[in-house]
């Protein structure tokens, strides 16, 4: 699928991105330079990519300490190199998906011309690593709804073509889904496409049953927080943040629908349900305990097979086990 015809007619190329020399030295395991202006852009990006991808201690902190203007150029360079790698028939590279969230934060704002350029150059990208689709998603999510509104058809096309690809690593799909889903949500006010997505049978079921109620204020934020839990057990800070959300109905309503659901659940839906279980764990009421028990049963093995939602089943069992009063 191509989305170039859907991109608004925006004139301009990225400001500040110039040709430079190719990397002349291989990474030797060191931290990227604290002063990025001391070396060639391609060299600095290469070292930062290797260090962050290798999870070298201190690498993320160094990169985040770079000036915002340089990090913007570095993100452009990562994108451009991903596109060039595709055209050169190189192997996939998962490093950009680790580096891009470190480079880009709330201090960096792209422009409409940056977004148009990034989408055009990414069109046709065929490697499963999703590297060329990262920058457009980050730029789109950083722009105001008014600035990005006419890009909605192109962003939806990327989501449909890229975010649902099962060959792309799950963490990369999750990152792309969150970026594009957030950008489109800010335009439309509708529940982000990556939360309870229609390509997940359970997500489609919930959307059909709840309809526009999912678009009510606060619902997306509650579900986004639940989906953000990427570990088997949350931190205290995550639980405190989850307890501050209003309204609370998405937690009990979605879990209640799952307790009655009989069907397949994708891993992303399982992860969201796990987060909802932990959010409900802060409710000591008997009704919450009963619902947790029903969720545990629904998420467990069906007909002697593997669990329907293993992450959710494990979370519900852990919550019920560590609070004796719940099972009394």
- Residue 19 pLDDT level (bands cut at 50, 70, 90): low
pLDDT reading at 308 higher than 70? yes
Q: What is the pLDDT of residue 128?
A: 85
Cβ count near 54 (within 10 Å): 13
Q: What is the pLDDT of residue 27?
A: 87
pLDDT tens-digit readout, 267-286: 999 999 999 999 999 999 99
pLDDT tens-digit readout, 199-246: 999 999 999 999 999 999 999 999 999 999 999 999 999 999 999 998
pLDDT reading at 177 higher than 60? yes
Contact between 282 and 245 under an 8 Å Cβ cutoff? The reply is: no
Write out the H or E segment, with its range, that includes residue 83: helix 68-87
Average pLDDT over residues 78-89: 87
- Residue 323 pLDDT level (bands cut at 50, 70, 90): low
pLDDT tens-digit readout, 135-148: 999 999 999 999 99
Which residues neighbour 286 within 8 Å (Cβ) at sequence distance 6 or greater? Answer: none
HSE toward the beta carbon, residue 18, CA cutoff 13 A: 5
pLDDT reading at 327 higher than 70? no
Contact between 128 and 168 under an 8 Å Cβ cutoff? The reply is: yes
Contact between 184 and 155 under an 8 Å Cβ cutoff? The reply is: yes
The average confidence (pLDDT) of the chain is: 91
- Residue 168 pLDDT level (bands cut at 50, 70, 90): confident
- Positive or negative, the CA dihedral 158, 161, 162, 164 is positive
Q: What is the pLDDT of residue 300?
A: 93
Q: What is the pLDDT of residue 145?
A: 95
Q: Out of 21-30, 37-46, 197-206, pick the least confident.
A: 21-30
pLDDT reading at 114 higher than 70? yes
pTM for this prediction: 0.88
Q: What is the pLDDT of residue 16?
A: 66
């Amino acid at each position: 699928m191509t989305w170039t015809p859907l991109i608004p007619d925006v004139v301009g190329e990225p400001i500040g991105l110039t040709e430079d020399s190719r990397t002349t030295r291989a990474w030797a395991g060191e931290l990227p330079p604290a002063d990025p202006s001391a070396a060639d852009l391609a060299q600095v990006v290469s070292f930062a990519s290797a260090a962050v991808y290798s999870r070298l201690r201190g690498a993320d902190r160094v990169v985040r300490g770079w000036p915002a203007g340089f990090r913007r150029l570095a993100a452009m360079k990562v994108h451009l190199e991903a596109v060039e790698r595709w055209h050169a028939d190189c192997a996939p590279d998962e490093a950009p998906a680790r580096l891009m969230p470190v480079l880009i934060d709330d201090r960096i704002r792209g422009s409409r011309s940056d977004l148009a350029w990034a989408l055009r150059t990414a069109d046709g990208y065929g490697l499963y690593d999703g590297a060329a689709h990262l920058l457009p998603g980050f730029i789109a999510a950083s722009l105001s709804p008014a600035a990005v509104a006419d890009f909605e058809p192109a962003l939806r096309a990327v989501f449909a073509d890229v975010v649902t690809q099962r060959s792309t690593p799950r963490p990369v799909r999750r990152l792309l889904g969150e970026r594009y889903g957030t950008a489109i949500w800010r335009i439309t006010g509708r529940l982000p496409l990556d939360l309870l997505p229609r390509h997940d049978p359970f997500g489609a079921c919930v959307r059909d049953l709840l309809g526009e109620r999912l678009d009510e204020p606060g619902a997306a934020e509650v579900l986004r927080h639940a989906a953000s839990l990427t570990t088997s057990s949350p931190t205290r800070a995550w639980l405190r943040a989850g307890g501050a959300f209003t309204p609370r109905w998405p937690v009990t309503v979605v879990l209640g629908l799952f307790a009655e659901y009989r069907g397949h659940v994708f891993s992303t839906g399982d992860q969201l349900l796990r987060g909802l279980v932990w959010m409900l764990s802060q409710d000591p009421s008997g009704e919450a305990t009963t619902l947790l028990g029903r969720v545990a049963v629904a998420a467990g093995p069906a007909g002697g097979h593997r669990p329907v939602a293993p992450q959710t089943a494990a979370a519900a069992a852990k919550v019920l086990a560590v609070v004796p009063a719940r099972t009394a």
